[in-house]
Amino acid sequence: MSPLKRIPIEPGRVVISRAGRDTKRAMVVLALDGDQHALVADGRLRKVAKPKRKKFMHLTAKPVCIGGIQEKLTKTSPLLDAEIRAALELAGYGPLERPNKEGCEIGKE
């Protein structure tokens, strides 16, 4: 028996993206899509209105399940992007700060 248990990917669970443009970004699972995919959103890059469909292998589940969001998802209540952002920040997964590339300034050529 292995001492490490795999954390299930379920609605309301905090996950970290392991592949793609959103690598290392914390997101919340909104729904499962089949047996290999999850619909995820972070309230910033990926909104609730248009969640990202990601394979389970490209996600790392964290031991944090956000109860308020989980309840809203099961009751099919409207979920706001601001609620996801606030819940991620309260759970310690604040916004990802990406530094600008060297020599690249907006508005200058």
Domain CATH for 59: 2.30.30.30
- In this structure, is residue 98 part of a structural domain? no
> For residue 2, what pLDDT is reported?
54
- In this structure, is residue 4 part of a structural domain? no
Number of domain units in the chain: 1
- In this structure, is residue 101 part of a structural domain? no
- In this structure, is residue 5 part of a structural domain? no
- In this structure, is residue 104 part of a structural domain? no
- In this structure, is residue 105 part of a structural domain? no
The residues pairing with 53 across neighbouring beta strands, listed in sequence order, are: 39
- Quote the domain boundaries for residue 17: 13-90
Classify residue 56 as exposed, middle or buried by CB count within 10 Å of its CB (0-12, 13-18, 19+): middle
- In this structure, is residue 27 part of a structural domain? yes
> For residue 108, what pLDDT is reported?
45
Which residue type does 69 have?
Answer: I
pLDDT tens digits, one per residue of 14-66? 999 999 999 999 999 999 999 999 999 999 999 999 999 999 999 999 998 88
